[in-house]
Amino acid sequence: MSLITQAPRGTQDVLPDSSYKWQYVEQTALSIARDFGFHEIRTPVFEHTNLFQRSVGETTDVVQKEMYTFEDKGGRSITLRPEGTAGAARAVLEHGLINGALPVKVSYITSCYRYEKSQKGRYREFHQFGVECFGALAPQADAEVIALAMQILKSVGLTDVALHINSIGCPTCRARYHEALKAYFASYAETLCGTCQDRLARNPMRILDCKSPVCGEIAAAAPVMMDYLCEPCAAHFAQVKGCLDAAEIPYQVDTHIVRGLDYYTRTVFELVSPQGLVVAGGGRYDGLLQELGGPAQPGLGFGMGVERLLMVMEEAGCRFPAAPQCDLYLAPMGEAAVSRCFALATALREGGMTVEFDVVGRSLKAQMKYADKLGARYTVVVGDAELESGVAKLKDMTTGETEEVSLDGGLYTLLRQKTLDRELAGVADLFSNVAEIG
């Protein structure tokens, strides 16, 4: 039988040598979100298919071409979530949070699934950090979620990601815009791809987001929504910009941002790396909750691709915390020493130390070689003499220096002190990231 050793196309394994980087960006994002009053929500990886049809929209690429949809054993149509907003909105409605104190502010880290052409920075399984704010209509709410996204980037050391913003209006002003778009695209009807020919009648704005190069070229010269905004939408956009200006958050207005999902209204934004990769995207969706059968409450948020964020950080040479290391390798020699070392390792781990100990039954020489491979900072060998005296030698694996230490409380105290000193140095180093930003 042949080995199954290849993951499906468009998926990635996160191996132990890099998972700590994921934990770092995820914890940073969740913690900054908490500072802004957003608290974590966890929703299922699959939902009823019609949730995404109704929210993301029937004419989007995501719904038409990219969803992982299947019938479950009970005959229901189920879809793996292609994004995080719809599930969060559904949960906020289902559990009545929207009827409590407003706004409801949630954050999440989710895996998402889209059957896309896989390429660098575009996967079929990917992860989003996101926030959603339900029940806030004022323009300062838009500025707040944008500021949150920017602060996350800044705190991981990314200062050259550009903020692009646009307004795509509301259903009132969009009706007039749709007419203008239809008139424009009608003259290219024969040239558009099959999907866009259908979109021309049903939802011409979606043509602006088509990935086909031919449609893209035609769309580049199409009328822009900014020229059709109604007075309240234009005023809202002006106030969002006013807040960003006041907080000195630099941005550029990009009238070509339309976003690939149907629920957006008014403000939309994208954070774009110097290489042109969209690290995060979001905006307002004032009609979404109602579309899902809830009250007429507005909403807004953004999603940040974790894979893309890490990729851009690596390209920019951002610093990560040091890879986790083993504080101590305990090497027992003989049966009596094994149980003593096991008890010691358990006590030290309870005290927060990272301790490894021989679970393979290696010779002392092989254990030392393994400790070296692990990158253990210190080793202690425990044999009959150490068991009898209760004193052993703590060896610094970098300098080769040794010092005597009692196997009771002394080992813990000494190790704790050395680890604290190292942690403080690590924090100081990471903070220098922020200090450089100013």
**Chain residues that interact with ligand HAM, rule: CB under 6 A:** 83-85, 114, 116, 121-123, 126, 128, 130, 132, 260-261, 278-283, 301-303, 305, 307-308
Q: How far is the CB of 405 from ligand HAM (least distance, A)?
A: 49
Residue 128 or 419 with smaller CB distance to ligand HAM:
128
Residue 123 or 329 with smaller CB distance to ligand HAM:
123
Residue 164 or 308 with smaller CB distance to ligand HAM:
308
Residue 50 or 346 with smaller CB distance to ligand HAM:
50
With CA atoms as reference, report the closest residue to 154 among 300, 23, 280: 280
- Cβ–Cβ under 8 Å, residues 406 and 386: no
Residue 209 or 358 with smaller CB distance to ligand HAM:
209
Q: How far is the CB of 95 from ligand HAM (least distance, A)?
A: 19
Residue 133 or 382 with smaller CB distance to ligand HAM:
133
Q: How far is the CB of 61 from ligand HAM (least distance, A)?
A: 10
Residue 308 or 377 with smaller CB distance to ligand HAM:
308
Q: How far is the CB of 171 from ligand HAM (least distance, A)?
A: 18
Residue 84 or 332 with smaller CB distance to ligand HAM:
84
Q: How far is the CB of 220 from ligand HAM (least distance, A)?
A: 20
Give the distance between the most distant pair of CA atoms in the chain. 93
Q: How far is the CB of 373 from ligand HAM (least distance, A)?
A: 34
Q: How far is the CB of 253 from ligand HAM (least distance, A)?
A: 18
Q: How far is the CB of 141 from ligand HAM (least distance, A)?
A: 12
Q: Residue with the closest Cβ to ligand HAM?
A: 305
